[in-house]
A and B are shown apart, each in its own frame.
Chain A
């Protein structure tokens, strides 16, 4: 079974600074997908970024980028130029061949003005 570990329960960053959230996973599959979802106080789950494991190039979406290290099974999220609206719980998720998403326990990000 796959597992996803987020080792940072909480992180904080100053507005306009950069922060990196960590995620590691364990799987025996070679073809899979990784995601970061954001859950603000409204509780809505919002897709931030996705990565296909067969692609070596790291995904980017505006101020959000990932550092995907397949051999190390690491998938960290970098948020540049942090904004107050980035404050939320961030979940790392894994999708293998069986369609279901496996989530980490989340990292609560605080953005300080």
Chain B
């Protein structure tokens, strides 16, 4: 059973460009979470999504950031007009729906992260 997949692993963008980060949850998982890790810090929650629904986006910056989890395909975290302060590692995690297999429903399983560097 493949784990959470994220791509790209490394992304370099110039200020003002757009960054698109992709996350494919573990098979059978329908809950996706995005976190950001700044240097020397723990992970900070950004957004929680289920298929076609944003459940909690309380950690998302109000502007330039958006996330989606369509019916088909991976979850996407989009950052428009990137600035140097967006440089960070972005992690995706997934969890299973209660009553299904694939781990504990209260537990989030993480992908390898995408390291975004803004020049």
User: Once the chains bind, are A101 and B108 in contact (CB under 8 Å)?
Assistant: yes
Interface size on A, residues (CB 8 A): 23
The verdict on A47 contacting B45 (CB below 8 Å), with A98-B56, A99-B55, A101-B35 known, is no
Q: How many A-B residue pairs have CB under 8 A?
A: 58
**Hey, which bits of chain A sit against chain B, CB under 8 A?**
4, 33, 35, 37, 42-47, 50, 52, 91, 95, 98-106
Chain B residues within 8 Å of A37, by CB: 110
Residue B41 at the chain A interface, CB threshold 8 Å: yes
User: Once the chains bind, are B42 and A44 in contact (CB under 8 Å)?
Assistant: no
Q: How far is the CA of A4 from the CA of B109 in the complex (A)?
A: 19
Can you name the residue of chain A whose Cβ is closest to the Cβ of B89? A43
Can you name the residue of chain A whose Cβ is closest to the Cβ of B59? A100
Least CB distance from A110 to B in Å reads 16
